[in-house]
Structure 1
Amino acid sequence: MAALLLGGAAIGGSPIFVRLSEVGPMATAFWRVALALIPLVAWAWVQNGNVADRRPQRLSDYAALILPGVLLAIDLAAWHLSLTMTSVANATLLANVAPVFVTLASWLLFRSKVSGIFLAGLATAVAGVVVLKGGPAALGGGDLLGDGIAIVAAMFYAGYILAIGQLRSRFSTNRIMIWSTASAAICMLPMTLLAEPELLPPSAFGWAMLFGLAFVSHAGGQVAITYALAYLPPAFSSLTLLLQPVVAAILAWLLLSEPVGLMQAIGGAIVLVGILIARRG
């Protein structure tokens, strides 16, 4: 549970790094996964086989390890595209409804039991994100196509969480993260080269933001969530996604001097209450 919350908080800082990045959204997404390979490979080298870990044996094992990265790459590309087509509030909110798709897919595909208490907690947390974003009235200014692409991003992130959850009973956290992160970087590179003219940031500050995004939000946050998925159900684990706008609002207040209004504070509290209710379920 501690790893899950820590991972959700680490990923919640990603909008700050993205906003301060000196390259475009697609290039930022590429460096997010490409640079994250540095600490992941370094940690694997330090471990040097000290952790019991099954190696992939068949083609299906390799395909299963690559799949989460492909899903994550499509999620990142779709979300960054939606940010350019609809309002930031709409894109962030709709991309954060992935827990709804995770819960639905867990029930349909794996016949996971979903209690009424969990559903009540999920609904409460989603409602908290709506309040945090300014209420229903603030979400009416988006573009319909952009909103749809943000929902597509949420669906692919849900697939990423479910794919990781299926792997955690077979492979170690680090092996899963190296394979999924490398495959995400390989998928993101051609999309980035086609979509944006500049790949490299012009200053040391720009590189610092990319390294922060890669090391803290991806290598730190995704590793913590992947570790937690060995012990907690994917449907509940995906609720940490709803922590991200709460953490982002707090960090924007601390680092960017953006005020946190009463509506945001109430919305953040509702999200936390919803997660606590879901935990009981």
Structure 2
Amino acid sequence: MSSSASSPHLAQRWALAALILGALAIAFSPIFVRLSEVGPTATGFYRTMLAVPPLWLVWHLRPARKATAPGTSRMPPLGVLLLPGLLFAGDLFFWHLAIQYTSVANSTLLSNFAPVIVTLGAWLLLGERITGAFLVALLVSIFGAMMLVGSSFQLGGDYVFGDLLALTTACFYGAYMIAVAKLRGSHGSQEIMLWSSLVSGIVLLPMAWLMGETFLPATLNGWAVLFGLAWVSHALGQSLIAYALGHLPASFSSLVVLVQPVAAAFFGWLWLGESLGSLQIAGGVVVLGGILLARRAQLK
């Protein structure tokens, strides 16, 4: 009894550890993007396309499954091939565009409203039970994110268009997480990540060309930044999150990903010399407190 009863709990613990580690890996992405020597959309292209080789290697070396019936194609269904990749491409495109039309603080906060989108989608499309305690935890975490941004957040004025782009980013990333969570019921995280990254790269390439962005890094350090973004933040970070979505509720997972802006603020202070005031530190603590409340509300 103990082994069978503990097995789901053990899987949840591993998934939670993967989720937190994935969020921390993604937290490096603002630093990589800041240091990139190419345009914002081109950076998104390299982020996804340079991740394809290691993702393919992991997928190719995965444990063999039962042989498929003769005449059955191993090509994944169209939904796996297209939907997550299109949604993630939209997330990257609108996120990088938002930064050009609004403040970094505004774009950071508004794009992190994705847990609201995921919670609604998880309830409507995935049949997840959303408790009142979880909604309280969601509000606490969002309030903490607002504290993390602090007085830098501004509404109205010249930022309205950029703010709408940032909210669009949240919608795309929220829909991406819902799509991955839905597909994880029948497909492995390696398969989903491989094809979605390939599709995202194919979509972002002509966008970068049409926007006339700088496309090739000027130095070896510029290439190192792009490989770091692709392999650490995307191949590792997003793959760990995709794995976790197969074992944890999507609503809870999206909330845990709010560890990302907390860690990004810390990394920015540590490596880029960005200021980190008492209000931001308190906001990070509130976000983590909200995540702990959500864990008690959503996980058994």
Q: Which interval holds the TM-score relative to the shorter structure?
A: over 0.9
Q: Once the two structures are superposed, what CA deviation does each residue of 1:209-238 show, in whole Å capped at 9, x if it has no partner?
A: 100000000001000001101110111111
Match of 2:146 in 1: 130
| Distance in 2 between residues matched to 1:203 and 1:65, nearest whole Å | 34
Deviation digits for residues 53-107 of structure 1 (CA, Å, limit 9, x no counterpart): 8989599822333200000001110111110011111111111100001101222
Helix, strand or coil at the partner of 1:139: coil
Segments of structure 2 that go 5 or more residues without pairing to the other structure are 1-15
Is the contact made by 1:41 and 1:178 (CA closer than 8 Å) also made in structure 2? yes
Greater Rg by CA: 2
CA distance in 2, matches of 1:115, 1:58: 40
With 52-61 and 147-156 compared, the bigger mean Cα shift is at 52-61
Farther off after superposition, 223-232 or 104-113:
104-113
Matching residue of 2:131: 115
Q: Kindly tell me: are residues 60 and 272 of structure 1, through their superposed partners in 2, closer, same or farther at Cα, counting changes over 3 Å?
A: same
CA–CA distance in 2 between the matches of 1:54 and 1:63? 22
1:94, 1:102 → 2: CA distance? 14
CA distance, structure 2, for counterparts of residue 265 and residue 187 of structure 1: 38
Q: TM-score under structure 1 normalisation?
A: 0.94
Query: Which residue number in structure 2 is paired with residue 41 of structure 1?
Result: 56
Shift of 1:111: 3.3
Instruction: Give 1:12's match in structure 2, choosing from 23, 27, 34.
Output: 27
Residue 65 of structure 2 corresponds to which residue in structure 1? 52
- Residue 242 of structure 1 deviates from its aligned partner by 1.3
1:3 aligns with 2:3: no
The alpha-carbon distance between structure 1 residues 80 and 204, as it changes in their structure 2 partners (threshold 3 A), is same
Note if contact 1:78-1:150 (Cα within 8 Å) is conserved in structure 2. Answer: yes
Look up the match of 2:113: 97
Q: What amino acid maps onto 2:154 in structure 1?
A: L
| Residue 169 of structure 1: aligned partner | 185
Of 264, 272, 276, the residue aligned with 2:292 is 276
Q: Which residue is equivalent to 2:242?
A: 226
Cα distance in 2 for partners of 1:69, 1:21 equals 22
The structure-2 alpha-carbon separation of the partners of 1:170 and 1:194, relative to structure 1 and needing over 3 Å to count, comes to: same
Q: Report the counterpart of residue 42 of structure 2 in structure 1.
A: 27
Which stretches in structure 1 are left out of the alignment for 5+ residues?
none
**2:49 is aligned with 1:63:** no
Distance 2:168 2:61 in 1: 38
Structure 2 letter corresponding to 1:9:
L
| Distance in structure 1 (CA, Å) of the matches to 2:64 and 2:132 | 39
In 2, Cα distance between the equivalents of 1:197 and 1:128? 35
Q: Does 1:241 align with 2:257?
A: yes
Letter in 2 for 1:3: A
- Per the TM alignment, residue 257 of structure 1 is displaced from its structure 2 partner at its CA by 2.1
Identity score, percent: 47
CA distance in structure 2 between the partners assigned to 1:127 and 1:19 by the alignment: 26
Residue 109 and residue 42 in structure 1: after superposition, are their counterparts in 2 closer, same or farther (change >3 A)? closer
Instruction: State the 4+ residue runs in structure 1 displaced beyond 6 angstroms.
Output: 53-56
8 Å Cα contact 2:19-2:257 kept in structure 1: no
